[in-house]
Amino acid sequence: MTIRAVRGVHDILPGEGEKWRRVERIARDVFDSYGYEEIRLPIFERTELFARTIGEATDIVQKEMYTFQDRGGDSVTLRPEATAGLLRAYIEHGLFVHPKPIKLYTMGPMFRYERPQAGRYRQFHQLDVEALGDEHASLDAEMIAMLVEFFRRLDLAQRLQVEINSLGDEKPECRPRYRTELVRYLRANADRLCEECRERIERNPLRVLDCKKPECRRVLDRAPALGDFLCADCAAHFGKTREYLEATGVPHVVSPRLVRGLDYYMRTTFELTTTELGAQNAVAGGGRYDGLIKLLGGPPDPGIGFAVGVERVVQLLPDEGPEAWEGRRVGVFLIPLGEEPLKRLLPIANQLRSKGLVVEVGHGERKLGRELERANKLPQAKRLGVLQAVILGPDELARGEAIVRELKSGTQRTVPLSGLVDELLALGGRA
């Protein structure tokens, strides 16, 4: 019996790779331009790190973590998100001694034992960005603007909506006051809520607001709104964030019931949503988590960050023709006809590759017709701008020449072997 991939886990096949590379390239470009630096983090951490940061009562910690004991008996967990590990590294390496905010990003796979469905996987990928040590509202606005800029560069911004909200903070007059009010309302309407929501009322009441079931929505849309309960500081912070967003020209809507699945969020939260992906409508989300770094034993630094779901972004990207492919390069297919021509072409192949051309070399054993057919069908051919074949048989070799054939049109010319590299490089390459 053949072995298949684990449920909810998928391969990214060669044909899809170009979109992934594009997403990652643009992410790096945009994040770099806002002064963010890359940090690369381990894929697994001590289990307690996630329990402490994400929250014991959250779905992630209660039911979605891939946790196991390693052979030394330590409990470790495949990271369900990147923020916790990033903050761990920030504290462990004393990164906070540098001028703040410290701006960092990372990218890679995350793991959650969720029910697999369209757009929801058990291994998925995120771009994760965090700015630490600064609580000014202009940073919140800059971060949201950067996220929108990333999508604008992918030509997706107009298909997404920026939703923002403030979750307030844990001062008694702020979110706790709201939580009490919300729990009272939810208890009073519990008989009209689904079972999951009813369970959450006491455990994680804000999260109830997130339920998508129509019968629950009818109740939840009329629930008290957190925005009406914000303390003066949180209300001012939210107002400023919106002003700076407007000054930057970032259209957004306030979604009073936007809450997020992780406990640590406070004040600014945001999501980029689309109507094009069905139930899994969020392509990115994030928010502020002042207090979390201290909770982990670090300095009392505030923090804000977001994560982009790469699978969902890739799903939104259109299939494009070769013209649109970035990093378009010249492709050369070297076709030796026989052993001696092969040996003559091998060093030429390396010279061309070192100058940035994409080069494939035949083995010298197949018939010319077969080789030309193969050249045209190479999967990478559609990624390449100009596609040339170089044909070198024993006769050409004896004359010190090669035939250069433009594959699409079939036009050919004869070129002296001594000038072959320059001739091909003239079509494109790098100095």
Stretch 94-113 residues interacting with ligand AMP (CB under 6 A): 112
Stretch 245-264 residues interacting with ligand AMP (CB under 6 A): 260-261
CB of 416: closest distance to ligand AMP in angstroms?
A: 56
CB of 421: closest distance to ligand AMP in angstroms?
A: 46
Exactly one of 10, 46, 100, 120 binds ligand AMP (CB under 6 A); that residue is 120
Q: In the 3-class helix/strand/coil scheme, how is the chain assigned residue by residue?
A: CCCCCCCCCCCCCHHHHHHHHHHHHHHHHHHHHCCCEECCCCCEEEHHHHHHHHCCCCHHHHHHCEEEECCCCCEEEECCCCHHHHHHHHHHCCHHHCCCCEEEEEEEEEECCCCCECCECCEEEEEEEEEECCCCHHHHHHHHHHHHHHHHHCCCHHHCEEEEEECCCCCCCCHHHHHHHHHHHHHHCHHHCCHHHHHHHHHCHHHHCCCCCHHHHHHHCCCCCHHHHCCHHHHHHHHHHHHHHHHHCCCCEECCCCCCCCCCCEEEEEEEECCCCCCCCEEEEEEECCCHHHHCCCCCCCEEEEEEEHHHHHHHCCCCCHHHCCCCEEEEEEEECCHHHHHHHHHHHHHHHHCCCEEEECCCCCCHHHHHHHHHHCHHHHHEEEEEEEEECHHHHHHCEEEEEECCCCCEEEEEHHHHHHHHHCCCCCC
Q: Which stretch binds ligand AMP (CB under 6 A): 51-59, 97-105, 114-122, 149-157?
A: 114-122
CB of 31: closest distance to ligand AMP in angstroms?
A: 16
CB of 284: closest distance to ligand AMP in angstroms?
A: 5
CB of 11: closest distance to ligand AMP in angstroms?
A: 15
Could you give the string, one character per residue 271-290, with x where binding to ligand AMP holds by CB under 6 A and - elsewhere? -----------xxxx-----
Q: Which stretch binds ligand AMP (CB under 6 A): 42-50, 134-142, 293-301, 309-317?
A: 309-317
CB of 253: closest distance to ligand AMP in angstroms?
A: 17
Stretch 349-368 residues interacting with ligand AMP (CB under 6 A): none
Question: CB-wise, 312 or 383, nearer to ligand AMP?
Answer: 312
Question: CB-wise, 79 or 344, nearer to ligand AMP?
Answer: 79
Residues that bind ligand AMP (CB under 6 A): 81, 112, 114, 120-121, 124, 126, 260-261, 282-285, 307, 309, 311-312
